Amino acid sequence: MPGPLALLLLTLPAAQAGAPMVMAHPSLPPRPTTFLVDDKVSGGRVENFRALYVDPEAMASSLRPSKAGAADRRLSLPINNEFSSYAEISVEGQRIGLIDPMSNGAIHDVPAGTYAVSFKLQNGYVETRSVRAVAVSGPIVPGGRAAQAVVDSGETPSWHTDARLGLQPAAPEPKAKAKAKRAQLSAKRIEITEMVQFTVGSAEIDAVSHGLLDEVAALILANPAVRRLDVQGHTDQTGDPGKNRALSQARAEAVVAYLVSKGVEASRLSATGFGPDRPLIAEDSEAAQAQGGEAARAANRRVELHVVELAPAAAPAEEAPAVVPTAN
């Protein structure tokens, strides 16, 4: 009957021709924990990985924690893959290698501190955790009964949150603030919080306003009850009134064309150019003149979106006739 050493040798992976075989650390379970990759041997510094992408001798000393520890000593970084998929491990952005599903590993001789460890699974899912380097006194057990119990039960493993293994919840990503809506539908118009910008003296819509008009188009498409919408162009009172009316008409038509290009039916839109005829602020008023007149002119150069026709509200259902109780 073969002895324990012979059994251990039988479990080692086939090495490349002419490459030396390396035994696992004596304190570890009887399975290979050092790996031969591209003629490089881990020598026990990187344990329980299926494959390595790095030179372990140089890699361990090159790792730097994102949050350095107070102790100036070399510790071990536990890598705990509780997923049912093998994982590609990266530490602080450096690709280290592959670790089997439901297995634990370690990188030894790293500086004290907390490291960002990323697990990339077969399906492309990536999870990054904050892992603290710790002193490992016992063997790095690859899976074991706890892992098998999880596989059998389908429950979520708990050992990756065990403080004894040095794992900490990664800091949550700050939630992006929801952008304020720039287009709102009221009973009479679509209110927009920004001016539609055009190239000076032309009907070409400035790219800065494309996002705003995209929101307007989405709002119209989401509200089929708005059957007709009139896009109205207005200018300030500077220059020839006739040319300003023509320019405002061209700008209103440009907005209609843009909305149609985003899927809004052309039959729901019309364009009207009023030029300087409907100012919001009288540019010759004393208040406007006191401010130099530019604020009034800027306010008067605008595009408005007026609801012309709404679908009629649904007719109320006819009431059922009263039920007359039958005499007993």
Read off the pLDDT of residues 123-171 as tens digits, 9 standing for 90 and up. Answer: 888 999 888 888 765 555 555 444 444 444 444 444 333 443 444 444 5
The domain that contains 236 carries what CATH number?
A: 3.30.1330.60
Report the percentage of the chain scoring pLDDT > 90.
Answer: 33
Confidence of residue 71 (pLDDT cuts 50, 70, 90): low
Q: Is residue 276 a part of any domain in this protein?
A: yes
- For the packed helices 241-261 and 210-221, what is the interaxial angle rounded to 10 degrees? 60
Residue 226: other Cβ atoms inside 10 A: 20
Residue 25: other Cβ atoms inside 10 A: 13
159, 193: one domain: no
Per-residue pLDDT, 322: 53
Which run of H or E residues covers position 260? Answer: helix 241-261
Per-residue pLDDT, 299: 87
Structure-model confidence comparison of residues 25 and 128, the more confident one: 128
Domain assignment of residue 109, given as a range = 4-168
29, 160: one domain: yes
Q: Is residue 72 a part of any domain in this protein?
A: yes
* Domain limit, last residue, from 126, 143, 168: 168
For residue 202, pLDDT over 80 is answered with: yes
Query: Residues 58-73: what's their mean pLDDT?
Result: 74
Q: Coil, strand or helix: which one is 97? A: strand
35, 162: one domain: yes
Ranges 33-42, 99-108, 317-326: which has the least confidence: 33-42
Per-residue pLDDT, 260: 96
Residue 49: other Cβ atoms inside 10 A: 25
148, 242: one domain: no
118, 212: one domain: no
Please name the residue that has the structure tokens 């595009």: 303
Residue 235: other Cβ atoms inside 10 A: 25
Quote the distance between the C-alpha of residue 116 and its chain's center: 19
Nearest in space to 105 (alpha carbons), one of 130, 132, 81: 81
119, 79: one domain: yes
How far lies 32's CA from each of 46, 51, 65, 211, 302, in Å?
A: 12, 12, 28, 57, 74
Per-residue pLDDT, 44: 64
Q: Is the dihedral of CA 293, 298, 301, 305 positive or negative?
A: negative
Using an 8 Å Cβ cutoff, are 96 and 59 in contact? yes
* Domain limit, last residue, from 135, 168, 201: 168
Nearest in space to 65 (alpha carbons), one of 125, 141, 134: 134
pLDDT tens figures, 304-320: 999 999 988 644 444 44
26, 162: one domain: yes
Q: How many domains does the chain have?
A: 2
Structure-model confidence comparison of residues 15 and 261, the more confident one: 261
CA pair distance 290, 268, nearest whole angstrom? 42
Q: Coil, strand or helix: which one is 127? A: strand
CA pair distance 157, 170, nearest whole angstrom? 17
Rg from Cα positions in the chain: 35
Structure-model confidence comparison of residues 317 and 177, the more confident one: 177
Using an 8 Å Cβ cutoff, are 203 and 243 in contact? no
Q: Is residue 282 a part of any domain in this protein?
A: yes
Per-residue pLDDT, 211: 93
22, 49: one domain: yes
Using an 8 Å Cβ cutoff, are 49 and 99 in contact? yes
Q: Is residue 272 a part of any domain in this protein?
A: yes
120, 217: one domain: no
Q: Is residue 177 a part of any domain in this protein?
A: no
Q: Is residue 23 a part of any domain in this protein?
A: yes
Per-residue pLDDT, 30: 38
**Kind of pairing between the strands at 46-47 and 94-99:** unpaired
Using an 8 Å Cβ cutoff, are 108 and 57 in contact? no
Q: Is residue 321 a part of any domain in this protein?
A: no
Per-residue pLDDT, 136: 66
187, 164: one domain: no
* Domain limit, last residue, from 140, 168, 196: 168
For residue 279, pLDDT over 50 is answered with: yes
163, 195: one domain: no
Q: Is residue 324 a part of any domain in this protein?
A: no
Structure-model confidence comparison of residues 231 and 143, the more confident one: 231
Per-residue pLDDT, 304: 96
Nearest in space to 232 (alpha carbons), one of 217, 247, 216, 249: 249
269, 150: one domain: no
Please name the amino acid found at residue 215. E
